Structure 1
């Protein structure tokens, strides 16, 4: 045993945020930052590897809400405006740094060049649809694309509502088919949230694999022969890929992960907060709301205000060191396991895609170095996707019953169900129950009533998104999260109240459909428990 497999699985997801009623909207920047700092640079990295004939394989789950936003004409136009502002700011920064802070000039030029590259790629290479870049890499055999729940709901907290679970899974699969032209084989469980029996719904919709947290194996009622070092199959045949906590933590650890290195760039220090208001005002939000601009010039340094300027040359050396260290740890762990396993281990590593490039500025460079160094050292590891692995070794999988688990704090539901957000569920659960009632009472409607009920189903699904309780837990954009949950539930009640009077509010419906453009082919009957 000497050749381990490494399965990188990235979850590309953002909540559905679209506000055409405003000329600019703060939370829409979540999308624009992710495109410009993670998705486009990641596509460039993948294409460099393809050009240089470096072997690699990765899996990326693209959520339905993200795919909808990436293809929306309104948001695409706003992203172009976002890039143009950042290019203008970059040109000003190059001039300012040349005169006032030459130690920042290299990075000012880097950010300006990246913004220009992003504009060129977005407009010319992908013609406004970066999903085409992911499709091309899937077609070339370098990526496996997967789906996730319709609005990325944390599913264990809805297990008593099978219609809602089914709706989240079915629409996730349906959205993927509409976007990519084929059915997905894999399904990213939001927040790695699994409960026993969930695999039955996945199998019903043709899913062959999903990922789980480490605890799903460690707490299984069965004796798991390979721990978290190989996938298993559930009794119904759907494969589960448990995340290897130790190897994952080389990156994803707030205390000691690679991104905490003092030579790496500080995320939270940004000229949007540092420079005088009269200079930065055209590039932040009105009236004078300071925000991240992406122009960041300081190294992490540690818990001190005495920061040092970021040096890209030093950071790139650490990137190479950390890639080498990662491959060394994979090899070392494989050697350690030789006496315990009779098969090569599979290290499943699951991350949010936005960690790379956005939160961890050097993360995309690190991924590239991992693939390049592995190729240089005669393939220390084999990079696989779940489907390519299963195509060769499905017959070797042990049958195991995974345990309830998530990748959140404590391994269960503490993040998505605590004092800050528990109040939301009684309202969302009631909306689900009333949606089921509407689907039974008014089954198979046509025309305006059908559209009205479809909008009610959208509102329920949007209220279920895991993003809102997560934001409330972290106390970040709490006012916005509370408003979104409240608005979706109020909107649902508009439909419920009108339908109880056998009426349709047509003016409201037209506005709602223009606002919530996702799931254009949704069928509200999906919530009918009698079907």
Structure 2
């Protein structure tokens, strides 16, 4: 829409993947306990004309997944400590490599979708505040803030320093560290790709996806680091900056794999998003998803513009309710009250709008206060302007 062309790939939330299998809800809900066949993630992507997505290296190779947030949140460390006792890393498949692109396809008659794998080595260097570049003692500390105002005047000092030990931030010293860190990162990329080429004779790719908030938010100097890395790579004749679409067209992968369910969460599973602190959220989500599907199937062909307005806003509230951020914030205690409030609000707003759909759609009177409420929701949650009821009414679409 914004670039005047269709997207070819997608970074799925939390680098998560689920193959097709007989699935049942992991919590008691209105969906019941009878397993039913559920399509794999790649089938949805294939049906919508998408060519590739991204996975964590542990889903490709097995072994222990390297989570990206564990060293930032004490609550997450405690939560992982509970789960780790039950955790068994998958056996590592050494013949698979993140330097190659593979195909995933679990359904006959549907075009397989390619997978690009997040590189674990470079990822740790940028994500980790303990082992990576953001932990350099000269960089601006994220956690210590002046009150009132919230400004930050202190440097990391040491990743292990408590807040009382933080020293004053000196911008010039921080700037002096960027060339070395960026140069090391570029060298690391080059060595990993060279090793792959030397052992296979093929050109490989190094895929390093990062949340944009990491650069400038968590790591204040991150944008300048990124600029330097891009410049250093551009200036090296043996390295090439590329896009996944371009590399996919050149590589023409043919090897199709089966990969397990998982995410880039600690341990490679979904425990950060589904645990004793967040179980209640999924009951709301499953309940509201089913209600939305029923409403969409009943009213999607009704051309009444008022009815479609209510339906579309209900769908927006459902999508906002379903954001994985809420469970993450609850599990890390980073903004737990806020996340619980937002989730409960979207759940309540969705159901109030759903009630409104049913009354209006069946010819009953809807009072003025409800129309005012709809207007408030549309102004506050003005996202997904092109949302369509067909997305919620059906789960089967012809392959594209």
Of 175, 180, 202, which residue of structure 1 is paired with 2:45? 202
Q: Contact 1:225–1:398 (CA<8 Å) still a contact in 2?
A: no
* TM-score calculated relative to the size of structure 2: 0.77
Q: For CA contacts below 8 A with separation 6 or more, give which structure has more relative contact order.
A: 1
Q: Whole-Å Cα distance in 1 between the matches of residues 381 and 261 of structure 2?
A: 33
Tell me the distance in 1 between the aligned counterparts of 2:233 and 2:297: 57
Contiguous gaps of at least 5 residues in structure 2: 20-39, 63-89, 106-110
Query: Deviation at 1:386?
Result: 0.1
Q: CA deviation at 1:371?
A: 2.4
Q: What does residue 242 of structure 1 align with?
A: 117
Match of 1:528 in 2: 393
- The answer as to whether partners of 2:234 and 2:241 remain within 8 angstroms in 1 is no
Residue 221 of structure 1: how far off its partner (Å):
11
Q: Do structure 1's residue 390 and structure 2's residue 260 form an aligned pair?
A: no
Please state if 1:412 is matched with 2:269.
yes
Does the 8 A contact of 1:327 with 1:380 survive in 2? no
Partners of 2:197 and 2:247 in 1: CA distance: 20
Counterparts in 2 of 1:307 and 1:442: CA distance versus 1, 3 Å: closer
Is the helix fraction higher in 1 or 2?
Answer: 1
What is the match of residue 452 of structure 1?
A: 310
- Over 6 Å off, 4+ runs: 220-224
- Report the CA distance between 1:396 and its aligned residue: 4.1
Shift of the 441–382 alpha-carbon distance from structure 1 to 2, 3 Å rule, reads: same
The reply on whether 1:300 has 2:156 as its aligned counterpart is yes
Q: Residue 203 of structure 2 corresponds to which residue in structure 1?
A: 344
- Report deviation, 1:469: 0.8
Deviation at 1:338?
A: 4.7
Instruction: Specify whether residues 379 and 397 from structure 1 end up closer, same or farther in structure 2 by C-alpha distance, changes over 3 A only.
Output: farther
Shift of 1:204: 1.3
Contact 1:221 1:403 (C-alpha < 8 Å) held by counterparts: no
Per the TM alignment, residue 291 of structure 1 is displaced from its structure 2 partner at its CA by 5.2
Q: Matched residues in 2 for 1:523 and 1:321: separation?
A: 49
Distance 2:173 2:91 in 1: 48
Mean CA deviation greater in 426-435 or 307-316: 307-316
CA offset at residue 267 of structure 1? 1.6
Residue 440 of structure 1 contacts residue 530 of structure 1 at CA under 8 Å; is this kept in 2? no
Aligned partner of residue 207 in structure 2, secondary structure: strand
1:513 aligns with 2:383: no
Matching of residue 469 in structure 1 with residue 313 in structure 2: no
Paired residue for 2:348? 490
Task: Check 1:527–1:222 CA distance in 2 against 1; reply closer, same or farther (3 A cut).
Answer: farther
Q: Post-superposition shift, 1:360? A: 0.8
Deviation at 1:306, TM superposition (A): 3.0
2 CA distance for matches of 1:224 and 1:306?
43
Asked whether 1:253 is paired with 2:128, we answer: yes
Aligned to 1:130: none
Partners of 2:91 and 2:266 in 1: CA distance: 22
Query: What's the RMSD between the two structures over aligned residues?
Result: 2.4
Q: Name 1:423's counterpart in structure 2.
A: 280
Distance 1:313 1:200, change over 3 A: same
**Distance in structure 1 (CA, Å) of the matches to 2:201 and 2:140:** 42
- Superposed CA deviations along residues 206-238 of structure 1, whole A, max 9, x for unmatched, are 111111111221149997844222221223332
Structure 2 residue aligned with 1:354: 213
1:266 aligns with 141
Higher mean C-alpha deviation, range 193-202 or range 520-529? 520-529
Query: Is contact 1:298-1:310 (8 Å) kept?
Result: yes
Cα offsets for 1:107-130 (capped at 9, x unmatched): xxxxxxxxxxxxxxxxxxxxxxxx
Structure 1: runs of 5+ lacking an equivalent: 1-176, 274-289
CA separation in 2, counterparts of 1:297 and 1:188? 35
Partner of 2:7 in structure 1? 184
Q: TM-score with structure 1 length normalisation?
A: 0.59
Indicate whether 1:321 and 2:186 are aligned.
Answer: no
Structure 1 residue 490: Cα displacement = 1.1
Aligned pairs, how many? 333
Give the 3-state SS of the residue equivalent to 2:208 in structure 1: strand
